[in-house]
Amino acid sequence: MIISLDAEKAFDRVEWDYLFSVLGKFGFGSKFISWIQLLYSAPSACVTTNFQRSEYFPLSRGTRQGCPMSPLLFAIALEPLPIVLKSSACFAGIVRAGLEHRVSLYADDLLLYVTDPVNSVDNILQILTTFGLFSGYKVNISKSECFPVNTAAKQISSDTLPFRLAYNCFRYLGINISHSLSSLYTNNFTKLVTEIRSDLARWDSLPLSLVGRINSIKMNILPRFLFLFQCLPIFLSKSFIQMLDKMISKFIWAGKNPRARRTTLQRSKSYGGLALPNFLFYYWAANLQKIHAWCNSPNLDWCVMEDASCHPSSLAALLCAPLASRYPSCIKNPIVLSSLKIWKQFRQHFKLSSPVSLSPICNNHFFPPSNADAAFTLWRERGLVRFSDLYSDGLFASFNDLRTKFNLPQSHMFRYFQVRNYARTHFTPFPHSPAESLITEVLSLPLARSKISVFLDLIASSNMSSLVKLKDSWERELGFDLTDEWWREAMIRVNSTSSCARLSLIQFKVFHKIHFTKNRLSRLFPGTNDTCNRCGLSPADHVHMFFSCPKLVNFWSCFFKSLNNSLNIRLEPCPLISIFGVPRTSTSLTKKNSDVVAFASLIARRRILLHWKSPNDPPTTSWLRDLMSFLSLEKMKYSLRGSATNFYKRWQPLITYVNTLTSLDSN
**Model pLDDT, residue 666:** 40
* Mean of the per-residue pLDDT values of the chain: 91
DSSP secondary structure letter of residue 611 = T
DSSP H or E stretch at residue 304: helix 301-308
Q: In whole angstroms, give the CA distance from residue 285 to residue 445.
A: 13
Rounded to an integer, what distance in angstroms lies between the CA atom of residue 351 and that of residue 482?
32
Residue 246 has pLDDT above 90, yes or no: yes
Strand 145-147, strand 164-165: pairing: parallel
Judged against a pLDDT cut of 60, whether residue 139 lies above it is answered with yes
Q: Cα separations (Å) of 605 from 58, 297, 499, 620?
A: 62, 54, 17, 13
| CB contact set of 155 (below 8 Å; sequence gap of 6+) | none
What does the pLDDT read at residue 118? 85
Rounded to a whole number of angstroms, the distance between the first and last alpha carbons of the chain is 89
Q: Where are the alpha helices (DSSP H) in 568-619?
A: 575-580, 591-610
Query: Contacts by 251-256 with C-beta closer than 8 Å and gap 24+?
Result: 251/200, 251/203, 251/204, 251/213, 251/217, 252/210, 252/213, 252/214, 252/217, 252/276, 253/210, 254/204, 254/213, 255/204
Q: Is 324 exposed, middle or buried (0-12, 13-18, 19+ CB in 10 A)?
A: exposed
pLDDT digits (tens, 9 = 90+) for 459-505: 998 887 778 999 999 999 999 999 999 999 999 999 999 988 999 99
Q: Taking 50 as the threshold, does the pLDDT of residue 661 lie above it?
A: yes
What does pTM read for this prediction? 0.90
Question: Which of the listed ranges 451-455, 602-606, 623-627 does the model predict with the highest average pLDDT?
Answer: 602-606
pLDDT band at 452; cut points 50, 70, 90 = very high
What one-character DSSP code corresponds to residue 185? I
The mean pLDDT of 302-308, rounded to a whole number, is 89
Taking CA atoms, 54 is separated from 2, 48, 467, 569, in Å, by 44, 6, 63, 64
Binned at pLDDT 50, 70 and 90, residue 555 comes out as very high
HEC letters along 127-184: HHHHHHHHHCCCECCCCCEEECCCHHHHCCCCCCCCCEECCCEEEECCEEEECCHHHH
pLDDT value, residue 533: 92
**Are 235 and 342 in contact, with CB atoms under 8 Å apart?**
yes
pLDDT beyond 60 at 225: yes
pLDDT in tens, 165-213: 888 888 888 899 988 878 899 999 999 999 999 999 999 999 999 999 9
Lowest mean pLDDT among 86-100, 400-414, 417-431, 612-626: 86-100
What is the arithmetic mean of pLDDT over 638-663? 85
Residue (of 318, 342, 347, 313) closest to 330 by Cα position: 313
Q: What is the pLDDT of residue 662?
A: 58
State yes or no: pLDDT of 665 exceeds 50. no
Q: What are phi and psi of 104, to 5 degrees?
A: -125, 130
- Number of neighbours of residue 305 by Cβ within 10 angstroms: 17
Segments in 512-547 forming alpha helices (H): 518-524, 542-543
d(CA 321, CA 354): 8
- SS3 call for 39: helix
> Across 219-233, 355-369, 451-465, which has the greatest mean pLDDT?
219-233
d(CA 229, CA 233): 7
What is the pLDDT at residue 15? 93
The amino acid occupying position 59 is L
Type and span of the H or E element at 401: helix 399-406
Q: Which residues make Cβ contacts (< 8 Å) with residue 404, sequence separation at least 6?
A: none
Reported as a pLDDT band with limits 50, 70 and 90, residue 664 is very low
Q: Are 602 and 618 in contact (CB under 8 A)?
A: no
110 burial level (CB within 10 Å; 0-12, 13-18, 19+):
buried
> Once rounded to an integer, what is the mean pLDDT over residues 396-423?
94
Q: Identify the three-state secondary structure at position 398.
A: coil
Q: In whole angstroms, how far apart are CA 632 and each of 265, 567, 651?
A: 29, 19, 11
Q: Tell me which of 492 and 154 has the higher pLDDT.
A: 492
pLDDT at 356: 87
Q: How far is CA 265 from CA 185, 215, 257, 260, 272, in A?
A: 29, 12, 14, 7, 9
Condensed to tens digits (0 to 9), the pLDDT of residues 580-589 reads 999 988 778 8
Contact 285, 452 (CB under 8 A): yes
Phi, psi torsion values for 476, nearest 5 degrees: -65, -40
Q: Could you read off the pLDDT of 503-535 as tens digits, one per residue?
A: 999 999 999 999 999 999 999 998 889 999 999
- Alpha helix stretches (DSSP H) within 26-154: 30-39, 70-78, 80-87, 117-135, 151-154
